[in-house]
Structure 1
């Protein structure tokens, strides 16, 4: 891997970490800017580079750096209700890149990638959240609670982040660095 590829990946990992620190707690999962940064990386980096960003971020957090939401880190973070979304970052990026690999470049592909990323993120994060809240933390929450505090409260912000990721990525793609 070339130094410029490593640099781009490192910059995006750093931005995800900073995006985590900007958070608004809304129940078991906080609103952060992680997904915005990850969506931008999904659109401007090469597929292998884009998937490295959440992998490195997750590894750094699991080895103990307090870079997950709420300044959490270490192996015990897997028991946080939000950890399913952290796992979802990598899985969603990989699946999205795989499913869109043969699509023609253009706005349609970018929008499709963003929608798929968000869809798979929820498909992975919500059941994990439900499982941890009920089976590890013993909260006894129902499906409505998980949908409300893991999806519905986030939908307006995720929609805004999706639009911003589209706009920012279009501008970044015009730079020589990302073309």
Structure 2
């Protein structure tokens, strides 16, 4: 990125994460055994965190924004191959919005100090943002514009999030370690990271 503008390499890297998000949203279509207890094991939060850690806060957030817009205009990139403006009213749309914030915050945390501990902390913080923002959006959706299931409460909304939580905590740590190793072994020596340092 030069003079605050994204270059060809930036856009290529960002596009790669848009594609990874689409794959991560529908990974159970490729490997159906990743549905445990009826809960699909998606990799969206994992890739959103990685986008921030590897691309940086601005490009990472921009790639997640692009993913969201691509889905809203009709591309089947969301979970269960959904797409289109109707997704705006889905109770889970808040999780999609949160990916932009997740990538930005995770990227900001590691931009100045690229230590392993910072990467892991950034990944965990990003995952926490995804849960907090997405769950509150879901609760508000069921209260204000979607018919809530019988007996739905704020506590029940959080109870639903207990099932994917262990997976996402483990994946957050994995994302932090993976991003640190990729940065040290590849990106720190590449034109991509040098471009970011100059910007």
Fold similarity call, TM over 0.5: yes
CA contact (8 A) 1:30 1:69 kept: no
Q: 1:133 deviation in Å?
A: 2.3
SS at match of 2:80: coil
Confirm whether residue 19 of structure 1 aligns to residue 5 of structure 2.
no
Pick the structure with greater CA Rg.
2
Partner of 2:158: 147
**Structure 2 residue ranges without an equivalent (≥5):** 1-5, 29-34, 194-199
Q: 1:137 deviation in Å?
A: 2.4
| Gap change, CA 1:15 and 1:5, over 3 Å in 2 | same
Q: Count matched residues.
A: 176
Q: Which runs of 4+ in 1 moved over 6 A?
A: none
SS at match of 2:148: coil
SS at match of 2:118: helix
Taking the aligned partners of 1:52 and 1:25, their CA distance within structure 2 comes to: 32
Could you list the per-position Cα deviations for residues 83-110 of structure 1 after superposition, in whole angstroms to 9, with x for gaps in the alignment? Answer: 1100111123224444x26753212221
Q: TM-score, normalised by structure 2?
A: 0.79
**Structure 1 residue ranges without an equivalent (≥5):** none
Task: After TM superposition, list the pairs within 5 Å mapping 1:123-142 onto structure 2.
Answer: 123-140=132-149, 141-142=152-153
Q: TM-score, normalised by structure 1?
A: 0.87
Taking the aligned partners of 1:77 and 1:19, their CA distance within structure 2 comes to: 18
Q: 1:19 deviation in Å?
A: 0.8
| Gap change, CA 1:124 and 1:30, over 3 Å in 2 | farther
SS at match of 1:66: coil
Q: 1:9 deviation in Å?
A: 0.6
Taking the aligned partners of 1:96 and 1:137, their CA distance within structure 2 comes to: 31
SS at match of 2:81: coil
Q: 1:30 deviation in Å?
A: 4.8
Partner of 2:15: 10
Could you list the per-position Cα deviations for residues 23-80 of structure 1 after superposition, in whole angstroms to 9, with x for gaps in the alignment? Answer: 44877x8541111111112211122211112100000011111111122111110111
Taking the aligned partners of 1:82 and 1:57, their CA distance within structure 2 comes to: 15
Partner of 1:169: 179
